[in-house]
Amino acid sequence: MNRKVLPLFLLVATFFASTRAEEIAIEQILSLCCQDGEEWGIQNRLCSTYNKSLELVPAGLHGLCLSTIEICCSKQHKIYQCTAGQIAARQGLSCSLKGDHSGSEFYTDCCEACKIGLVVGSSANKCSVEPFAFGSPWDEIYDGCCNDIKTEGEIILLGGHDEQGLCDQFPTICSQVCENVEGGSYVCKCHPGFELQNDRKTCAPVSDEDNEAIEQKLCEKGFQKNARTNECEDVDECETGEASCDAARQICRNSRGGFQCVDIILPDIACDAGYQPRDGKCEDIDECAADKNACDSNQVCTNEIGGFRCDCKIGFILDAVTNACVDINECQVNAHECLETQRCDNTIGSYTCIRLQSCGTGYTLNAETGHCDDDDECALRRHNCRPPMECFNTKGSFRCRQPYKYQSSARTYTSTSTSTSTTTSTTAQPYRARYSSYQPYLPPCGIGFERNALGACVDIDECTTGEAQCGPDQTCKNKQGGYVCVCPPGHMIGRSQHCEDIDECAMYGTKVCPHNSNCVNTVGSYRCDCTEGFKKHSPNEMLCTDVDECKEMPGLCHQRCLNYWGSYRCGCNPGYRLSYNNRTCDDVDECEEYKSANLCVGNCENTPGSYACSCPPGYNLGADGRSCIDIDECHKREVCNGHYDVCTNIGGSYRCTSIECPYGYRHDADRRNRCERSNRYCNVGDTECIRRPHSYSYNFLTIVSNIPVPPEGRGLFTLAGPQQFELIEFDLKLVSVDAAPHVRPVDMYYFSLDKKTNEAQLNLKKSIEGPQDIELELKMTVFQNGQLYGSNVAKLFLMISAYEY
């Protein structure tokens, strides 16, 4: 009788397409992405503006990470906005949120739900509204706000901004008298002979026993006796000012016999530009005090509600073209107070008056008045008069004369006097008496004077008499006791007593022309020529204004033109770079210049002013616009429909493999990827049958090209056997390699086998470049009592994709 042997061992083949370590890594990455999304939600109003780099996240998980960030950011916004909405309801603020905020609909819904709860709770009604319900989370918010206002014993409800008061909206909110309070609140009161109960809404008659007790005792702290009713009434410390609350941070709420200081919980409000939130309101920002450089050095800063104003300082005016305060040339616009003998020189913000010429002999310039003061040569001992002559001071000079006395006969004398123009010697003629031989002696008039018919000294007009000696280019001007020769404007008398042109440019440097012009000397004057980039509105104007080349010369720049003081600069739109001629713009090839930054996971295509990412066939572009998500064709169940077909998804493609069992084997009904021996049992002693493997398993692994491999290796496949056998041997063999022509094929050094007592793990030791197909065979042989007991073969098909994602 032939006995058959049933193999006692159970072969277990476990395929690790993604090892447990990788699963843990994905969970950690998604957890970090969620944390990043929550932090972004706390710091920013919109989740859609997320712009942080995902360089630490594997390229294949970028889309998944961005979706996680969006969800966690939105969740944070919903929680925050719902809390802010409840605070707004309790503070009586509007339930409408200004500005663009993520999750703003939760602000409005939670605010309205809380307001309803506050109204119901304040009207002495039950908070339960069954069977009516709002749904989650609004039911919890409604219950919380309703019960909070009941437990706090409040009678003040902060309403919205309705014109109709709460007493009018809810006529039964108080049992007797309801009074609206400023700010959208209300308070309940009772008729005489009644008192308010603990619920602060209902009124009950005052008993005789209570009245007797009141008459016999003083009022407790927090109460005062009403002289008319002889009752102790509560003192509203908030109204009388007895409460010691911080008005900026707390609200005073009166209670029976006392008061409470409740901290203000301010909602996060959005203020317009020029305002900042403070104590729940938008307060004007004093930009002038906050920023000392709000206006430039030629301006005065004046704060305004919601902004500020920059006014020009005295001596400056606003330029309509440059919108800057420029210096007023008071000399040019004749806004100065210089004398005719002075020249006006413009300075930054003001002007100075400079004398055109010196005072001359006999005069000294008074620095304080700017006038020429006469020198008293007699007092200063600068004369040459000798006894018996005495010195007599005159304007600009002096005269030697004899003391006044009577003379009986004529005599002559000689005197010398000096003036600003000439020096002469005069001999007096004998004086002939008309009526008597005894007449008083009349001294001669000074230089430039003569006696008239009455004997008085009068000025000689040398300019009229022709005595003046002025050059042909000079003008004679008479003055008391002499004359002066005046040169035309812009000239001065030189050493040769001729008029010479004044070079204002050399003499006064940059003081005569603005800094954006060049001084050019002309005969008798000068002119200011504007430097390049500036122009004058009229030829006679001194002020040079900026030329806006961008407006006056359209097409000067290829894309963008920026005017600035005295010149212009060309700029380019994003994605372009200014060319060497500083006018035209060249497109930036981001794909080439930033290749190392991996702008695109897949293919990068340069476009005018930008770039576009695309993916090879078999991939979809991720939500971030740069990552490539593999399409799992096998998941669609539209391919590989054969009875024994196995579909293997590969990066960018898929592979259909039809499992055909070797001769003498049949398909395993329980496992599609395994073929088992047709005769599962071997007769005792049938060595040939025992040597044949009990089963063949077909295992398909797909790996991206150049996958990173840690130093300890990457686990690919584990084959496990039973534990009760004394010896199990494992053997790995490289069957075939099919690599693309430009790809280096693998060898056995790419793999290692980690053997244990009853199992072996196949590890990848090096990164594999794709595309290439690899077939490995891992055989497990079992021995018992030193004899062969059976074997199992696991065929491994490694499919390396062409891409690294």
Look at residue 270 and tell me if it is in a domain: no
Specify the number of domains making up the chain.
Answer: 5
> What is the arithmetic mean of pLDDT over 449-478?
86
At residue 23's C-alpha, the angle toward residues 19 and 26, to 5°, is 135
Task: Please check whether residue 786 is in contact with residue 752, taking contact to mean a CB–CB distance below 8 angstroms.
Answer: no
Q: Tell me, what's the pLDDT at 502?
A: 85
**Burial class of residue 142 (count of CB atoms within 10 Å of its CB; 0-12, 13-18, 19+):** buried
What element of type H or E holds 141?
helix 138-151
147-151, 306-310, 482-486, 790-794: least confident range: 147-151
Query: How do 610-614 and 619-621 pair as beta strands?
Result: unpaired
Same domain, yes or no: 538 and 683: no
Look at residue 173 and tell me if it is in a domain: no
**Nearest Cα to Cα of residue 327 among 569, 538, 562, 517:** 517
270 vs 597 pLDDT, higher one: 597
Q: Tell me, what's the pLDDT at 605?
A: 92
Q: Tell me, what's the pLDDT at 183?
A: 57
d(CA 782, CA 41): 60
Look at residue 326 and tell me if it is in a domain: no
Look at residue 477 and tell me if it is in a domain: no
Look at residue 90 and tell me if it is in a domain: yes
Mean pLDDT for all residues in the chain:
78
Same domain, yes or no: 690 and 757: yes
Same domain, yes or no: 612 and 541: no
Q: Tell me, what's the pLDDT at 152?
A: 47
d(CA 696, CA 517): 96
Q: What's this model's pTM, rounded to 2 decimal places?
A: 0.38
CATH number of the domain encompassing residue 537: 2.10.25.10
In this structure, the dihedral spanned by the alpha carbons of residues 633, 636, 639 and 640, taken in order and rounded to 10 degrees, is 90
Look at residue 211 and tell me if it is in a domain: no
Same domain, yes or no: 82 and 37: yes
Q: Tell me, what's the pLDDT at 131?
A: 52
Same domain, yes or no: 33 and 95: yes
pLDDT band at 771 (very low <50, low <70, confident <90, very high): very high
Same domain, yes or no: 575 and 645: no
Q: Tell me, what's the pLDDT at 374?
A: 84
pLDDT band at 698 (very low <50, low <70, confident <90, very high): very high
Q: Tell me, what's the pLDDT at 368?
A: 67
**Burial class of residue 378 (count of CB atoms within 10 Å of its CB; 0-12, 13-18, 19+):** middle
Cβ atoms < 10 Å from Cβ of 622: 24
Look at residue 508 and tell me if it is in a domain: yes
Same domain, yes or no: 619 and 735: no
205 vs 803 pLDDT, higher one: 803
Same domain, yes or no: 555 and 606: no
Same domain, yes or no: 539 and 575: no
- Which of 118, 133, 154 marks a domain boundary? 154
Cβ atoms < 10 Å from Cβ of 558: 18
785 vs 767 pLDDT, higher one: 767
Same domain, yes or no: 620 and 721: no
Evaluate if residue 765 carries a pLDDT over 90.
yes
Look at residue 365 and tell me if it is in a domain: no
CA distances for 229 relative to 23, 177, 188, angstroms: 81, 18, 19
201 vs 754 pLDDT, higher one: 754
- DSSP per-residue codes, 504-560: HHHHHGGGSS-TTEEEEEETTEEEEEEPTTEE-SSTT----EE--HHHHSTTSSSSE
Q: Tell me, what's the pLDDT at 591?
A: 92
Task: Please check whether residue 272 is in contact with residue 283, taking contact to mean a CB–CB distance below 8 angstroms.
Answer: no
- Per the structure block, which two tokens stand in for 461? 């007009």
Query: How do 695-703 and 787-800 pair as beta strands?
Result: parallel
Q: Tell me, what's the pLDDT at 421?
A: 37
Q: Tell me, what's the pLDDT at 149?
A: 67
d(CA 86, CA 665): 72
Question: In 3-state terms, what secondary structure has residue 113?
Answer: helix
What residue type is 770 in one-letter code? G
**Nearest Cα to Cα of residue 91 among 343, 345, 279, 337:** 279
> What is the arithmetic mean of pLDDT over 270-279?
72
Same domain, yes or no: 738 and 719: yes
Same domain, yes or no: 620 and 574: no
* Residues 410-429: tens digit of each pLDDT: 333 333 333 333 333 444 44
CA distances for 595 relative to 56, 59, 614, angstroms: 17, 15, 15
CATH number of the domain encompassing residue 714: 2.60.40.60
**Nearest Cα to Cα of residue 349 among 332, 325, 333, 368:** 325
d(CA 578, CA 614): 28
Q: Which domain holds residue 542?
A: 503-547
Evaluate if residue 337 carries a pLDDT over 50.
yes
**Nearest Cα to Cα of residue 260 among 269, 251, 268:** 251
Evaluate if residue 212 carries a pLDDT over 60.
no
- Which of 587, 614, 646 marks a domain boundary? 587
- DSSP per-residue codes, 635-691: GGT-S--STTEEEEEETTEEEEEE--PPTTEEE-SS-TTEEEESS--EETT-HHHHH
Task: Please check whether residue 730 is in contact with residue 758, taking contact to mean a CB–CB distance below 8 angstroms.
Answer: no
**Nearest Cα to Cα of residue 98 among 255, 268, 332:** 268
Give 333's strand partners: none
* Residues 703-761: tens digit of each pLDDT: 999 999 999 899 999 988 887 777 888 999 999 999 999 999 999 999 999 988 888 99
- Which of 92, 120, 154 marks a domain boundary? 154
* Residues 66-97: tens digit of each pLDDT: 888 888 888 887 888 888 888 888 777 778 77
